Structure 1
Amino acid sequence: MSGNTIIENSGEWWRNSVIYQIYPRSFCDANGDGIGDLPGICQKLDYVKSLGVDAIWISPFFKSPMADFGYDVSDYRDVDPLFGNLGDFDQVIEKAHALGLKVIIDQILSHTSDQHPWFEESRQSRDNPKADWYVWADAKPDGSAPNNWMSNFGGSAWRWCTRRRQYYLTNFLKEQPDLNLHNPDVQEQLLADLKFWLDRGVDGFRLDAINHAFHNQSLQDNPARPVKLNKDGLPPVNSYEYQWHIHDKSQPENLVFLQRVRALMDQYPNSVTVGEVGDDNTHKIMADYTTEHRLHMAYSFDLLSEECSAQFLRDTLEKNRRVIEEGWPCWSISNHDVPRSFTRWNKGFDAETAMARAPLFLLMQLMLRGSVCLYQGEELGLPEADVAFEDLQDPYGINLWPEFKGRDGCRTPMPWFNGGEINAGFSKVKPWLPVAEPHYHLAASVQEDDEHSMLNSFRTLLKWHADLSPALATAQQAIADTGNDLLVFERTAEGESYFVALNLGGEAASLPLPEKFAGADDITPALFAGELDGAEIHLPVAGARVFRVQTR
């Protein structure tokens, strides 16, 4: 019996689980319009199940004008026609559950589209029933914005409304006005919308940018942040990085609201929430947000960075362990917002070594204390796509080009076939983003029958992980300060301990096996090279060893 079966029976299936993120626009196009859809997801669920994951997380499919590709919602309770309809979603739920997969969907609680009926009413006057449903503020005497807050996408976070003669807050695009969750009616409505999907059968929510849900009502300016120059001596491209975000997010009122969310979730046994939190002090926010009676788990942007050295990972993981305490992290190294990890974390390595390192990072995630979120295409070893400016769709990239190319490079279509099919089997017509040429030879069909492919390596690792003892799910973690390119840590549970050593550097390295693991079982997946010589572990580049010892 696998560890996840035990956890499922305890009502905490999400601990130590593996979640597979599906970006619907780019997963599979079933109706031939060049955009992925819910029927396409349904068609590929058997493939997803074959990976060995426990759940899927589907990025937004709600009705939306698509200024930010679904993260600008105009109707929280309906499917955008681009993706299908509610009946199509019900079929996804039905098939996923029949396959034993949980279904998590995105919820965007901090803002809506400017075309949402709520905002269209709110902007009409200062005294209509929804006048206070969004964050409105008067101009300064000189007509300038109420304060210095910046949008995540650059520039002022405030937009002028001529009808109300006021500014409204937009933490992201100008088309994404921020909801005013200080208003109890807004909270009640959002909770009712969550309940709508829970009643429809979803198993949980990924809460987008959840620490942006509340702002400081004093509207104080954010303090300036010391400018950090890049390797070329240049300041940041995005003005958002020029200040400490003290007053525009991560407010204490959010903790009370999350308790209300959790109270709702507790009415639906085995449901789960995972929050996306990006902040200057992410570990503290993760800890605050995942304590009892709030979110089940959270992930930050720490492992979505360009940095992946052993020392960076040691520092990050140790700080997380020290701060988060009983809280629960969800480890993600790729998603729809950052360059693919295969490219981002393999700079300076040749193609062969890069291919060997990708499973190494999955092994790391699987053995860390927490849950894991994989992004579609990671299992194929897809590199970041190079998208020409004329093909760009992401407004974030278009606004900041060429210094920042946006998020389209990680959002290109999944390559399913490479046997003459156009667009790698994603769609029979020109897709919304082009299929990257290097992705064709990495298509799922190419890798399916190759036992040494990245796809089958990921399947092997996930099967190996599922068969480990259920005690690993909640085992404590201790990071060793090796001071070199080896990432080494222990997991200790009642009755057993694990020792994990990963070589993240560009040269072979050795380390002693701790005395407590003398005579331990070497349970390392066969994918990884390395050997134990006496009490010395020898690891080649991208090598790894995992040992387990019974302590009863």
Structure 2
Amino acid sequence: MASQQGSSDDWWRGAVIYQVYPRSFQDTDGDGIGDLKGVTRRLGHIASLGVDAIWLSPFFTSPQADMGYDVSDYCDVDPMFGTLTDFDDMLAEAHRLHLKVIIDQVISHSSDRHPWFVESRSSRQNPRADWYVWADPKPDGTAPNNWLSIFGGPAWEWDGVRKQYYMHNFLASQPDLNFHNPQVQDAVLDAARFWLDRGVDGFRLDTVNFYFHDRHLRDNPPLVPDPDATSNDAPDVNPYGMQDHLYDKSQLENVAFLQRFRALLDGYGGRTTVGEVGDGARSLKTVAAYTSGGDKLHMCYTFDLLGPDFTASHIRRCVDNFQKAVTDGWVCWAFSNHDVMRHVSRFAESEAEREVVARLAITLLATLRGSVCLYQGEELGLPEADVAFEDLRDPYGIRFWPSFKGRDGCRTPMVWEATATNAGFSDGKPWLPVPVEQARLAVDTQQSGADSVLNHYRSMLGFRRSHAALHDGDMSFLESNRDLLAFTREKDGERLLFVFNLTREPQEFLVSDTSVETVPLPGQLAEVVGGVLKLGGLSAYCGKL
């Protein structure tokens, strides 16, 4: 049964959100691509985990150049996913199961096939001529400045009709909207209103710090490496990471627009926003600006925990930095999503270690202060898939192959039945292959196993739900050796101690409060002996103080 902790307007605070990547979740019509009817069919599985909400990745009308993150109609469903009626049916079933529904809003850019862009590029005088970021070339014909695209090459594409360049932070077929134009802001707010009127409970705002650009189109300076940075803008094979992105994103004007967006949601009540912030070393500063004051975003997530580092020092630094920088905002923590290698493959040092790491990771994630975002399949302990070059669909991976294989390895289809065709995902040829090693971990093989990763997720989310301190209680770190992560969570007189050993060797932690009472934690491999907590490798402990 889904969690019902969120019945008030702040249900999102401390909520657990399950990300559904629709094209890889469940296919019901045999075309090898997941659809909305498939999401509806599998909502019971999601609810059984004990989560509060689902986040649905894009299902809007799109040429699918970037798997739906290139929208050509913000107010309709792409036929490959179904119809608006299918969406309404899915939403109704989710609400029946007490699941909130959050949908992606990809408004920093559109598809070049969107009617807005088709009109904008037709001339320099049409009503939407200024709806996108257009600029004249330099006298020698080159691009207006040195800005780069995350997907490779310049962030500018020449258009022969207007005889100007247009800006694109991603693919050339994803032109950036010009948020300096109030009409653009009104149009994207109208699109959000369309879905709010249908009953959605909130939005995940893609690349939320990319909406505005510097009006003067100033060059970005080179990046001075920061050894203390906990996240990067791009893999090191991509020159995008060599610039300090002062002018192509994260502009001050964005704050006022986010206030407009929040005002729209507040008019409906009980709705929420989750912003994706990719801003390198400035990410936390940006999150603080976007979530403070209670009049902008409800919460944000960054890429700080989406890297390869699964150590006590790294996690403490990320959480500590957030709590110091974002004093009145809220964070949404995640170890995996549709853009990064699955965390079991990032964190485990061997195949034999994957299940242990999967269980420990959700135990840690569920005890941090903040909301939690899970990515489909992580509840099965799915590793990253090794996708052959000829099977790649991700333009990012195709562009930087073989040094960077892209994002298809985490986007392979969900596995439901180990021995069924394509592990129960589809009767047709899947859009990405279903790896045999993933099929062995299918839902049906883990349902009855008390110690399966799937049932550990259910137990751990139930544990989180049963302790108010883990919902939105205070969090304080305790001193320990650098191999251990120790902290307390406290609310309404309940004070819980958590100690995590993220190393492979046994560790000890001196418990200063001798009255500590061990609280059964799912999969716990630790005990207190004479005031000394003894933890096995890759283990966790919970006690009541």
Q: What is the TM-score when the length of structure 1 is the normalising length?
A: 0.95
Distance in 2 (CA, whole Å) between partners of 1:526 and 1:256 is 45
In terms of mean alpha carbon deviation, does 255-264 or 476-485 score higher? 476-485
* Inter-partner Cα distance in structure 2 for 1:226 and 1:320: 22
2:464 aligned partner = 465
Q: Work out the CA distance in 1 between the residues paired with 2:322 and 2:13.
A: 16
* In structure 1, C-alpha distance between the alignment counterparts of 2:185 and 2:137, rounded to whole Å: 27
Residue 525 of structure 1: aligned partner:
521
CA contact (8 A) 2:459 2:522 kept: no
Provide the residue aligned with 2:454 in structure 1. 455
2:460 and 2:522 in contact (8 A); partners too: no
Whether the 8 Å CA contact 2:456–2:522 is kept in 1: the answer is no
State the match for 1:119 in structure 2: 117
Instruction: Judge conservation of contact 1:287–1:323 (CA < 8 Å) in 2.
Output: yes
Deviation at 1:473, TM superposition (A): 2.6
Distance in 1 (alpha carbons) for counterparts of 2:452 and 2:491 = 33
Match of 1:542 among 517, 527, 538: 538
Q: Deviations over 1:197-222 (max 9, x none)?
A: 00001000000001001111111000
Q: 5+ residue gaps in structure 2?
A: 228-234
Q: Which position in structure 2 is the counterpart of 1:406?
A: 406
C-alpha deviation, 1:520, in angstroms = 3.1
Name the amino acid aligned to 1:534: G
Give the letter aligned to residue 283 of structure 1. Answer: L
CA apart distance, 1:472: 3.7
Shift of the alpha carbon at 1:21?
A: 0.1
Distance 1:397 1:508, change over 3 A: same
Quick check: 1:273 aligned with 2:276? no
Deviation at 1:5, TM superposition (A): 4.6
Contact 1:221/1:247 (CA < 8 Å) preserved in 2? yes
What displacement does 1:6 show? 5.3
> Aligned-pair distance for 1:525?
1.5
Contact 2:465/2:471, CA 8 A, preserved across alignment: no
Cα offset, 1:492, TM superposition: 2.8
Tell me which amino acid in the other structure corresponds to 1:521: E
Per-residue deviation, 1:228: 8.9
2:299 & 2:225 partners in 1: Cα distance?
A: 32
- Aligned-pair distance for 1:478? 1.9
1:397, 1:544 → 2: CA distance? Answer: 36
Determine which of 140, 147, 150 is the counterpart of 1:149.
147
Match of 1:334 in 2: 336
Deviation at 1:124?
A: 0.6
Alignment of 1:425 onto 2:427: no
One-letter amino acid matched to 1:299? Y
Counterpart CA distance in 1 for 2:257 and 2:517 is 47
- Cα distance, 1:33 vs structure 2: 0.3
C-alpha separation in 2, matches of 1:499 and 1:50: 27
How far did 1:317 drift? Answer: 1.2
Give the Cα separation in 2 of the matches to 1:522 and 1:36.
Answer: 44
Contact 2:49-2:457 within 8 A present in 1 as well: yes
SS of 2:416's partner is coil
Q: For 1:489, give the aligned amino acid.
A: F
Q: How far apart are 1:375 and its partner, in Å?
A: 0.1
Kept after mapping to 1: 8 A contact 2:497/2:544: yes
Amino acid corresponding to residue 179 of structure 2 in structure 1: L
Instruction: State the alpha-carbon separation in 1 of the partners of residues 207 and 119 from structure 2.
Output: 25
Deviation string for 1:456-494 (max 9, x for gaps)? 11111111111112x443322222343422111122334
What is the Cα deviation at residue 353 of structure 1?
Answer: 2.8
SS at match of 1:303: coil
Distance in 2 between residues matched to 1:388 and 1:214, nearest whole Å: 37
The answer to whether the 8 A contact 1:524-1:544 is kept is no
Stretches of 4+ moved more than 4 A in 1? 4-7
In the other structure, the counterpart of 1:232 is none
Q: What amino acid maps onto 2:103 in structure 1?
A: I
Q: Does 2:20 match 1:22? A: yes
Structure 1 stretch 480-489 or stretch 440-449: which is displaced more?
A: 480-489
Where does residue 381 of structure 2 map in the other structure?
A: 381
Is the Cα contact below 8 Å between 2:4 and 2:52 reproduced in 1?
A: no
- What is the CA distance between 1:88 and its match in structure 2? 0.2
3-state SS, counterpart of residue 146 of structure 1: coil
Q: Is the 8 A contact 1:227 1:236 kept in 2?
A: no
| SS of residue in 2 equivalent to 1:139 | coil
Residue identity matched to 2:423: A
Once the 2 structures are TM-superposed, how far is the Cα of residue 227 of structure 1 from its aligned partner? Answer: 6.4
**TM, length-normalised to structure 2:** 0.96
Determine the structure 1 residue equivalent to 2:231: none
The residue aligned with 1:290 is 291
Distance in 1 (alpha carbons) for counterparts of 2:136 and 2:28: 48
Q: What does the per-residue CA deviation read over 1:188-244, in whole Å, with 9 as the maximum and x for residues that have no partner?
A: 111111000000010000000010011111110001014699xxxxx9310101100
3-state SS in 1 of match to 2:7: helix
The superposition leaves residues 417-474 of structure 1 with CA deviations (integer Å, 9 ceiling, x where unpaired) of 012x1111100111000001211110111111212111111111111111112x4433
| Deviation, structure 1 residue 172 | 0.6
Q: Residue 250 of structure 1 aligns to which amino acid in structure 2?
A: S
- Separation in structure 1 between the aligned mates of residue 225 and residue 522 of structure 2, nearest angstrom: 46
The within-5 A match list for 1:311-326 is: 311-326=313-328
What's the offset of the Cα at 1:159?
Answer: 0.6
Deviation sequence 1:374-430 (CA, Å, 0-9, x none): 0000000000000000100001000100000000000000011012x1111100111
Between the two proteins, the alignment pairs up a number of residues equal to: 536
Q: Residue 422 of structure 1 aligns to which amino acid in structure 2?
A: T
The letter for the 2-side match of 1:317 is V
Residue type matched to 2:374 in 1?
L
C-alpha separation between the residues in 2 aligned to 1:178 and 1:401?
25
- Asked if residue 254 in structure 1 is aligned to residue 220 in structure 2, the reply is no
Q: Name the amino acid aligned to 1:526.
A: P
Paired with 2:387 and 2:435, the residues of 1 have a C-alpha distance of 8
Distance in 2, Cα, partners of 1:290 & 1:258: 9
Task: Report the AA paired with residue 299 of structure 2.
Answer: M
The equivalent of 1:107 in structure 2 is 105
Q: Deviations over 1:277-296 (max 9, x none)?
A: 01021111111111110000
User: For residue 186 of structure 2, what is the aligned residue in structure 1?
Assistant: 188
C-alpha distance in 1, partners of 2:119/2:367? 50
Q: Where does structure 1 lack aligned partners over 5 or more consecutive residues?
A: 230-234
Native 8 Å contact 2:135 2:166 kept in 1: yes
Q: 1:188/1:123 Cα in 2 relative to 1: closer, same or farther (>3 Å)? A: same
Could you tell me which of 500, 503, 519 is aligned with 1:502?
500
Alpha-carbon distance, 1:84 to partner: 0.2
Contact 2:223–2:242 (CA under 8 A) maintained in structure 1: yes
3-state SS of paired residue (1:487): strand
Asked if the contact 1:415–1:424 (Cα under 8 Å) also holds between the matched residues in 2, the reply is yes
Secondary structure in 2 matching 1:442: coil
Q: What are the equivalent positions in structure 2 for 1:360-399 lying under 5 Å apart?
A: 360-399=360-399
Could you say if the C-alpha distance between residues 394 and 6 of structure 1 is closer, same or farther in structure 2, counting changes exceeding 3 Å?
A: closer
Q: Distance in 1 between matches of 2:222 and 2:454?
A: 46
* 1:179 corresponds to which of 169, 177, 180: 177
What is the match of residue 480 of structure 2? 482
Superposition CA RMSD, Å:
1.6
Flag the 1:475–1:69 CA change in 2: closer, same or farther, 3 A. same
Q: Return the match for 1:310 from 309, 312, 316.
A: 312
Q: Which amino acid aligns with 1:108?
A: V
1:311–1:483 Cα contact (<8 Å) kept: no
CA contact (8 A) 1:228 1:236 kept: no
1:347-362 equivalence runs, <5 A: 348=349, 350-362=350-362
Cα 1:434–1:396 change in 2 (3 A) is same
